[in-house]
Amino acid sequence: MNPSKTALEIVHHLPPHYLERTLREDVRAGLSKPAKTLPPKWFYDQRGSELFEQITQLQEYFPTRAERSILEDHAWEMAAASPAETLIELGSGSSRKTPLLLDALKDAGDLRSYVAVDVSDSALTEANSGLSRAYPDLILQAVAADFESQLQLLPKDGRRMVAFLGGTIGNLEPDPRAQFLTQVRELLGQEGGSLLLGTGLVQPPEILIPAYDDPSGVTADFNRNVLRVLNAELGADFDVEAFEHVAVWNAAKEWIEMRLRATRAMQVQVPGAGLEISFDWGEDLRTEISAKFRREGIVAELEAARLTVVGQWTDADERYAMTLAEPS
């Protein structure tokens, strides 16, 4: 990858026009179904990223604070349990919590490089520019790739810790989640290092639902932003304000569902995807699932992917877990 300590170069593994093509495919597949869906990754244009940063500061939204508190208290234990030469962060985004892990791994004595993986060039540039000032002796690499389909292209040399934080794995349904964990296991190889996984834990609905439906309406604005993205990128004519934000706890599947509910019947044109879509009054478009886990369930899913848990930590309120696993 020809990394440099002085100049950041983004290594692109995304094919030309990958995001535009994938957006069209996701819209055609998701909005043509009787029960309409969209993947949550399309929330995140610049406005969506800014709104999500606001969400992480809300009192009701506890996952970000809980994960940070675990890292502040236990990152040194994680590093000691599985020291690494390279930290690979999937879906790195702003990398705000990354220094806690970097410091712990440096103190463990082996860390040499950090690899940020994201589909967004701007996120990679912003995150790594800040880290380059704080860690001038660390080799920084920025990789534009889709972690759901391109894990095999990431570095395989030396002992690596793959960090998948923020509870993002909860956005995957069980079958894709199992496939993803198997791919991580293949990336790590027989003795290639470890996976550090952040997961939200099952909580009563009165705690979970406000985290995804705050009274100030920031999450609602974030949810509706996916429609603004479709309007901007595919020339759609969604009346954004004609959809209300809904957050529902699905007790059977133990996940939160974020939905956009049509407040009137309407026809929507999406020229960039070649679609005309009908919405009935009260019809829902599901934009995100956020699965919550039980501690023993996390262990079982990792073991099914031939990953053995070597440590698990929670915040003081036991609302969030971080689990460290190595190849079996």
DSSP per-residue letters across 5-56: SSS--EEE-SPTTHHHHHHHHHHHHHHSSSSEE--GGGG-SHHHHHHHHHHH
Report yes or no on 9 lying in a domain.
Answer: no
- Name the more confident of 18 and 96: 18
What pLDDT, on a 0 to 100 scale, did the predictor assign at position 96?
A: 78
What pLDDT, on a 0 to 100 scale, did the predictor assign at position 149?
A: 85
Give the residue ranges of DSSP H helices in 169-290.
174-188, 205-211, 218-234
Please indicate, yes or no, whether residues 185 and 320 belong to a single structural domain of this protein: yes
What pLDDT, on a 0 to 100 scale, did the predictor assign at position 94?
A: 65
Mean pLDDT for the chain overall = 92
Report the predicted TM-score, pTM, of the whole model to 2 decimal places.
Answer: 0.94
d(CA 35, CA 305): 30
Report yes or no on 3 lying in a domain.
Answer: no
What pLDDT, on a 0 to 100 scale, did the predictor assign at position 28?
A: 97
Report yes or no on 298 lying in a domain.
Answer: yes
Please indicate, yes or no, whether residues 142 and 257 belong to a single structural domain of this protein: no
**Alpha carbon 288 to its chain's center:** 11
224-258 burial, b if ≥16 CB within 10 A, otherwise e? bbbbbbbbebbebebeeebbebbbbbeeeebbbbb
Tell me the two tokens of residue 192: 């290639």
What pLDDT, on a 0 to 100 scale, did the predictor assign at position 125?
A: 79
What pLDDT, on a 0 to 100 scale, did the predictor assign at position 5?
A: 45
Please indicate, yes or no, whether residues 101 and 219 belong to a single structural domain of this protein: no
Please indicate, yes or no, whether residues 92 and 179 belong to a single structural domain of this protein: yes
**Alpha carbon 190 to its chain's center:** 26
What pLDDT, on a 0 to 100 scale, did the predictor assign at position 8?
A: 57
Report yes or no on 179 lying in a domain.
Answer: yes
Q: Which domain holds residue 238?
A: 18-58+205-291
What CA–CA distances, in Å, run from 89 to 75, 112, 225? 15, 14, 26
Per-residue model confidence as pLDDT tens digits over 45-71: 889 989 999 999 999 999 999 999 999
Residue range 5-26: mean pLDDT, rounded: 81
With H, G, I as helix, E, B as strand and everything else as coil, classify residue 108.
helix
Total domain count for the chain? 2
Element (H, E) at 270: strand 266-270
Residue 143's CATH number: 3.40.50.150
Report yes or no on 135 lying in a domain.
Answer: yes
Grade residue 277 by pLDDT with cuts at 50, 70 and 90. Answer: very high
Per-residue model confidence as pLDDT tens digits over 125-166: 777 777 888 888 899 888 888 888 888 888 888 899 999 999
Tell me the two tokens of residue 34: 């009787």
Residue range 312-321: mean pLDDT, rounded: 98
Report yes or no on 6 lying in a domain.
Answer: no
Residue range 237-254: mean pLDDT, rounded: 98
Please indicate, yes or no, whether residues 122 and 242 belong to a single structural domain of this protein: no
What pLDDT, on a 0 to 100 scale, did the predictor assign at position 120?
A: 79
Please indicate, yes or no, whether residues 189 and 215 belong to a single structural domain of this protein: no
Burial class (CB in 10 A: 0-12, 13-18, 19+), 307: buried
Reply yes or no on whether the pLDDT at 190 is more than 60: yes
Please indicate, yes or no, whether residues 25 and 144 belong to a single structural domain of this protein: no
d(CA 229, CA 38): 12
What pLDDT, on a 0 to 100 scale, did the predictor assign at position 4?
A: 43
Reply yes or no on whether the pLDDT at 214 is more than 70: yes
Region of poorest pLDDT, from 33-47, 130-144, 306-320: 130-144
Reply yes or no on whether the pLDDT at 1 is more than 70: no
174-188 and 295-304 helices, crossing angle to 10°: 60
Report yes or no on 86 lying in a domain.
Answer: yes
* Sign of the torsion formed by the C-alpha atoms of 222, 226, 231 and 237: negative
Grade residue 192 by pLDDT with cuts at 50, 70 and 90. Answer: confident
Beta strands in 22-159 (DSSP E): 36-37, 86-90, 113-118, 139-144
With H, G, I as helix, E, B as strand and everything else as coil, classify residue 322.
strand
d(CA 68, CA 319): 12
Tell me the two tokens of residue 48: 């969506």
What pLDDT, on a 0 to 100 scale, did the predictor assign at position 72?
A: 97
d(CA 125, CA 129): 6
d(CA 186, CA 174): 19
Please indicate, yes or no, whether residues 298 and 195 belong to a single structural domain of this protein: yes
Please indicate, yes or no, whether residues 239 and 253 belong to a single structural domain of this protein: yes
Please indicate, yes or no, whether residues 87 and 64 belong to a single structural domain of this protein: yes
Grade residue 3 by pLDDT with cuts at 50, 70 and 90. Answer: very low
Report yes or no on 4 lying in a domain.
Answer: no
What pLDDT, on a 0 to 100 scale, did the predictor assign at position 191?
A: 67
Please indicate, yes or no, whether residues 145 and 281 belong to a single structural domain of this protein: no
Please indicate, yes or no, whether residues 172 and 284 belong to a single structural domain of this protein: no
What pLDDT, on a 0 to 100 scale, did the predictor assign at position 270?
A: 98
